[in-house]
Amino acid sequence: MANFRRFQPNDLNKISKCNLDPLTETYDLSFYLQYYAKWPTMFQVAEGQDGNIIGYIMGKVESSPDVYQFSEHYLPWHAHITVLTVAPEARRSGIGKILTEQLEAAADAHDAWFIDLFVRKSNHKAITFYKKLGYSVFRVVKDYYGGHASDPTATSEDAYDMRKPMRRDKEKKHVREDGETFEVDPADVW
Amino acid sequence: MSSSYPRPTLKSSVDLQLRNAFHDGNWQQAARLADKRARTLKDPYYQAIAVAAESQLDTPQEKCAALVTIQNCLKNGSVVKDGEILDLYEWASHDLLDESQYSDTHGQLRLRLVKAAPRDKPAVLHSLRLCLLHWDLVNAQQIATMLDKTFVADRHFLFWNTLVTFMLSTSPQCPPEKQKLYSLLALKQLERAADLTEKGDKSGRAIRSEEEQLLFFRVLASQGSKAVLLQQLKSPVLGGIASFERGRKQLFLEALDAFDAAKDHDSVFEMCHRVLGDTQNDGTLNLLGSDWLVWKRFIAAAAAQTDSDGAFAQVHTVLESYVSERDTLRPVYSRIVSLAILELTFRISSTLDPSSCGGESIRVAQIHSFLEQNYDKLACFDDLKPYIEQLSFAEANHLITKTVPALERNDPKRSLLVNILGLKFRHLVSTSLQAVSPTECIGDDGFQPLVACKWCGSVVTMSCNSCLEQIVIEAVEKQLQYEKESETIANFEKEDVDPAEELTVVAAMSLLKLSGLRHREPQPASPLLGIDMHYFLQAVAILDNHLSKNPDRAPIRILLIHLYVLIGCASYAYQIWLPLDVKRTIQDSLAPLFFDRIASFAPGLFRTGPGFKRIVEPMRSYYRSCLKLRAPSVLWDALEAGSYTSVFDISEYMNKLRHSCTLVMSIIEERKGIRALLGKSESEIKQVSFIASVTPETNLAVATDYGSMPCLESSNTTPLSEIVRLGPGLSNTRSHLEILTEEFLDIINHSHPKEYKPSRALETLNGDKLYVMEATDRLHESMTSFLQQGSTPSLLTPAEESHFTTISLLAALVSFAVPLKKENHTLEGELHMLLETLVSTLDITTEDFGSVSADAPNFAFLAFGSIHSMSLFLSSALAIKNTLAFLDRLNEKQLALDKTGKTAFPKTLLKELEPLGDTAENVLKDVRSRIKAMKSNLDEMGWMDRLAGWTFGSVAVDLEDSEIEALGQKGGNFQEVSEKVYDLIGGMTGCETWGVKILESWREGIKGWELVKTE
Ligand SMILES: CC(C)(COP(=O)(O)OP(=O)(O)OC[C@H]1O[C@@H](n2cnc3c(N)ncnc32)[C@H](O)[C@@H]1OP(=O)(O)O)[C@@H](O)C(=O)NCCC(=O)NCCS
């Protein structure tokens, strides 16, 4: 049964229900701790029985580095979902949505233009989930992921860069209709 | 030199030639050029470059150039005013100084620099950063204080200062007499800031952000009085509820914890009431605080009120407001509401006599309505488990036989899910005390307490086998039926629920229970001794069959790894382990699930050379990379971002990681594995960087995560993870005993290189002896104090307990024997006793070892099942042999240096030691012949039939009555259960596919054992 709260480092010893699922990547410790250090309110967990973590979201707010200011791919002040995962046993109960909405609220509080994320093109469940929540494909990043989630013969996989405009973007300047046809290279995203 | 530390970039004013030389690591040239520039430009920065470059050269004198310069500065009190010079020195001397010396060296110089130029903000910040990252809190605190004093307008520095001061006060770096002072200082500063906030003062030095507020409460909780803390947590400005009202949940949760810990039920009730009853501007419920934990505490606090009826009524009213909005709630909140109703019902009715209403109670009715809404959720069983455990048998019976079947509909998907839940409930109740009642019957042996199953009336010792067998039969039948229904399968394809997996788990759990695998006191020599092999292997077969078809599910994988380790199929367990992809961060919590005790059950996995990789390498590189600096660089990011609680939590986490039992395990297991194969270790344990600082007082932290293990058992029985493990999990005690053992082995296995010929040989030898005597005495003391703790037997396997006892006695023997001289005749008493204890410790193990007879029809199963004990038995014997050899060498050296023989060991000692040597040799012989017997057993023909017979008895192969009896095949429903399971895994074909894996893994294991040194 779920409790929603901020992440704390000891949770890293309780994330097996989420991280042993093949669609959830495990990162180096410094990666998690960096988010906890800089954006602690954007790292939220859903805690189940016995302290087991049954879902978490890890995000941040930022702009592209200044050196890219004049690039067409420059991203203004926005929020980013770096990791979202819900343990298989806890899916379809709205936990993913609650965690995402919390991050969206934080993005609005930080006056971000939009919130974005990358997802494997083959991850239909997640794409459906995000679309249901109002996200749309903004661009396709070719060969963004090494290896393919469902095709063992493929050496790479494209990513969808999905976005949802936040309150600040009243005119919906930061989303587009035909994002699926808009391709970029991994070098164009930061 | 300095390879692990980032090389500083030179100032932009430095000319290209020097810059290139420095950048390219052309140290001779860089040193020469820098020296030249220093002379012409008279800029000390160039001198520092020269020193830093020189420190990269080869001679010891050159290597120490930077260190010597620093020491000179420290000695003559000079101030280096250029921070970049200090950067160069730090880099150039990094590998020569231990992190703990930072405070007395670089830290001091940094502080001097800050004192000399306190307004140079970038330099001050840089200094503070370095002190923090090297965990030099002493200088960091002084710098932080100066920062705050110098830049009063920058309000952040106030909080940095209090944070660092507080951290120093709680650290061992702080002199004890100053701890109170620093903690008070931090507290007072924060109290002043809190006071300003309370008074509405908007000035810079008041608490504003959530993190500042959390910092205040952390310090208050740690240093202030409890009454003041609770008082403050109620403050209408800074308290938990006030914070919640601003949309900040964290402090509210912390406040709730504090009031709960203080048993202040009134405050808990009030706070929960306020939060759960909160609405948003549009009148809809504010769900920010509507967590299960909050509801649970709300209801518990209501029960603790003097007017509990009134309080329950208030809970009820709040719950009603949720029920009326249920349609708009996310399913998870709707489930929380249903559970809260259940919790309330159970609380209220706990005062009533549940048996008075028979099985059809209000509690069962509430479970029914929960099931109606949530039967299709995977978590439904876990949610209900605590409540079902509270039911009386009559209620449980009603639930299982009436309520659950009534939930079935003319919808195969729903019916299947309901059936699965029903089976899980039956398993839960059948394995708990609810289902049995004490009976008058006396067992055959007259001792066992017997009980009668309330369902079928059977008289049983533990749980009712006949009911469990029925569960297996039904679970397997359902699965067989499901596999035929392609439409239903299609229905589940997109779901996260896999009925086949659920049914497999229920059947396997019941089979394991039937096998008799359980927690036993005292622990048997091997967990498989005395268990029913057929049912055990059927559980393995059924899980393996499922995994081969559905490789993505972790729980079954984890359970299977444990079961294969139990039967000694290590290489196959490793193959199952690898796809779990346990890497990076999760290794600390998950690696023990496979790697704990690995050297004892799979020494062959430590083979080195082409084609073999070091199996613990991922762990090793993980710890190496994240523990490189004393504090991670993100600590500074946290401080800069104003995430004060993150600073605390990160440093606490890193400290635990540095002293993690998994880290110790990864080092020890590899040493043991390599020593088993090569007869020696690569280095001394105390030279391993992470172990060097560990003392017996260090608290080594356990982080093992069993959360992904299936769990159907009642909470009053031992959790599955403990039953299927080779022995008790990692612990502080075991980790220390392992380290101390390694230290002892390092002493007795140490030999000087041949060319080592000290000039004053006798004096050196006496010095060595003194060291050995003191060290072994210390080891014996430390090991004894761990071994004598009451809880220790429950933290070790019996084999480990006797091995560590042996090592501890050997340490005593060495410390006792080493100072003995020829004329010293008072040997008898103490030594005699010591030797007797040693021999008898070994004798007990010999007895256990001998209980597995090579003539047993299931010899391989038993022998592989006790491989861990065999391994420790072997280690003990080798340790004895090597200890005696060590004493021999020492004596010979003594004789060679003192020809009078006066200082040599007394003959009586050597005589006394002989039987010990003989016993050890006998053990080694036994182990060698056991390995040989296992090998030749595996070389025999007919293994597939044999394994099929061990698993399914006469269901799979023709067996004589005598064979059936010898294998312990049971009557009862055994036949029917076995037929079903056999059918499910695909009859003889499936059985063979699976059997080959076991056989090959055993053969692989024996190949490894043949390489193990037993001489
Ligand atoms: C994607 C994921 C986070 C969704 O989490 P969740 O808690 O199950 O999602 P929710 O219950 O909040 O779903 C909200 C809505 O999304 C849609 N949705 C979610 N999962 C879906 C699925 N498997 N199929 C179709 N729609 C789905 C539904 O419309 C759902 O609402 P509904 O249940 O009322 O119909 C989860 O499936 C997951 O962890 N996947 C693996 C990791 C991953 O892929 N992460 C995303 C990578 S960026």
Tell me the mean pLDDT in the region B158-162: 98
Would you place residue B4 in the very low, low, confident or very high pLDDT band (cuts 50, 70, 90)?
A: low
CATH code at position A93: 3.40.630.30
Residues of chain B with C-beta less than 8 angstroms from the C-beta of A33:
632, 634, 650, 653
Would you place residue B753 in the very low, low, confident or very high pLDDT band (cuts 50, 70, 90)?
A: confident
Q: Is the pLDDT of residue B3 over 60?
A: no
Residues of chain B with C-beta less than 8 angstroms from the C-beta of A19:
586
pLDDT score of B824: 57
Contact of B998 with B572, CB cutoff 8 Å: yes
B352-377 per-position pLDDT tens digit = 555 556 788 999 999 999 999 999 99
Interchain contact, A12 vs B585, CB within 8 Å: yes
Which residues form ligand 1's pocket by a CB distance below 6 Å?
A 23-24, 84-86, 91-97, 117, 119, 123, 125-126, 128-129, 132
Would you give the distance in Å from CA B511 to the centre of its chain?
28
Interchain contact, B641 vs A93, CB within 8 Å: no
The verdict on A25 touching B (C-beta cutoff 8 Å) is no
A49-53, B366-370, B821-825: least confident range = B821-825
Query: Please, which residues have CB within 8 angstroms of residue B120's CB and are 6 or more apart in sequence?
Result: none
**How large a percentage of chain A has pLDDT more than 90?**
89
- Compare B782 and B964 and report the one with higher pLDDT: B782
pLDDT score of A150: 83
**How large a percentage of chain B has pLDDT more than 70?**
97
* Residue A34 structural domain: 3-188
pLDDT score of B971: 78
Q: Is the pLDDT of residue B2 over 60?
A: no
Tell me the mean pLDDT in the region A65-81: 92
Query: What tokens appear for B117 in the block?
Result: 């130029």
pLDDT score of B928: 97
Interchain contact, A37 vs B379, CB within 8 Å: no
Amino acid identity for residue A168 in this structure = R
Torsion of CA B254, B256, B259, B261, to 10 degrees: -70
For B117-185, give the DSSP string. -TT-HHHHHHHHHHHHHTT-HHHHHHHHHHHHHHTTT-THHHHHHHHHHHHHHTSTTS-HHHHHHHHHH
Contact of B120 with B150, CB cutoff 8 Å: no
Tell me the mean pLDDT in the region B328-339: 95
Q: Is the pLDDT of residue B825 over 60?
A: no
Closest chain B residue to A36 measured between Cα atoms?
B646
Q: Is the pLDDT of residue B243 over 90?
A: yes
- Compare B114 and B899 and report the one with higher pLDDT: B114
Query: What tokens appear for A180 in the block?
Result: 């699926």
Ligand 1 atom at shortest distance from the alpha carbon of A24: 42
Would you place residue B1 in the very low, low, confident or very high pLDDT band (cuts 50, 70, 90)?
A: very low
pLDDT score of B920: 95
Interchain contact, B292 vs A3, CB within 8 Å: yes
Give the Cα separation of B185 and B730 in Å (integer). Answer: 40
Would you place residue B443 in the very low, low, confident or very high pLDDT band (cuts 50, 70, 90)?
A: very low
Which pTM value belongs to this model? 0.95
pLDDT score of B898: 87
A71/chain B closest Cα distance in angstroms: 28
Tell me the mean pLDDT in the region B712-730: 93
pLDDT score of B560: 98
pLDDT score of B354: 54
Query: What tokens appear for B49 in the block?
Result: 């470059």
H or E stretch covering B14: none
Q: What count of other Cβ atoms lies within 10 Å of the Cβ of residue B538? A: 30
- Across the interface, of B294, B552, B634, the residue whose CB is closest to A30 is B634
Tell me the mean pLDDT in the region B319-345: 96
- Across the interface, of B332, B634, B637, the residue whose CB is closest to A95 is B332
Query: What tokens appear for A97 in the block?
Result: 């949505």
B485-518 per-position pLDDT tens digit = 988 888 888 788 899 999 999 999 999 999 999 9
Which segment, B308-317, B818-827, B900-909, is predicted with the most confidence on average? B308-317
Contact of B450 with B439, CB cutoff 8 Å: yes
3-state secondary structure of B423: helix
B399-435 per-position pLDDT tens digit = 999 999 999 999 999 999 999 999 999 999 988 877 7
B587/chain A closest Cα distance in angstroms: 9
Buried b (16+ CB within 10 A) or exposed e, B907-932: eebbebbeebbebbeebbebbeebbe
Give the Cα separation of B517 and B431 in Å (integer). Answer: 13
Domain count, chain A: 1
Amino acid identity for residue B720 in this structure = L
Q: Where are the alpha helices (DSSP H) in chain A?
A: 16-19, 29-38, 95-109, 124-132
pLDDT score of B451: 76
Buried b (16+ CB within 10 A) or exposed e, A106-137: bbeebebbbbbbbbbbbbeebbebbeeeebbb
Residues of chain A with C-beta less than 8 angstroms from the C-beta of B647:
37
Averaged pLDDT score across all residues of chain B: 93
pLDDT score of B688: 94
The verdict on A12 touching B (C-beta cutoff 8 Å) is yes
pLDDT score of B492: 87
Q: Is the pLDDT of residue B198 over 80?
A: yes
Buried b (16+ CB within 10 A) or exposed e, B587-620: bbbbbbbbbbbbbbbbbbbbbeeeeeebbbebbb
- Taking CA atoms, B649 is separated from A82, B221, B645, in Å, by 21, 15, 6
Q: Is the pLDDT of residue B128 over 50?
A: yes
- Compare B512 and B100 and report the one with higher pLDDT: B512
Residue A104 C-alpha to ligand 1 middle, in angstroms? 16
| Burial environment of residue B790 by CB neighbours within 10 A (0 to 12, 13 to 18, 19 or more) | exposed
Would you place residue B202 in the very low, low, confident or very high pLDDT band (cuts 50, 70, 90)?
A: confident
B517-571 per-position pLDDT tens digit = 999 988 898 899 999 999 999 999 999 999 999 998 899 999 999 999 999 999 9
Residues of chain B with C-beta less than 8 angstroms from the C-beta of A15:
586, 705
- Across the interface, of A13, A32, A93, the residue whose CB is closest to B703 is A13
Interchain contact, B626 vs A32, CB within 8 Å: no
B472-483 per-position pLDDT tens digit = 999 999 999 999
Tell me the mean pLDDT in the region A152-170: 96
Contact of B2 with B91, CB cutoff 8 Å: yes
B603-632 per-position pLDDT tens digit = 999 998 888 889 999 999 999 999 988 889
DSSP state of B96: G
**How large a percentage of chain B has pLDDT more than 90?**
81
Interchain contact, B649 vs A34, CB within 8 Å: no
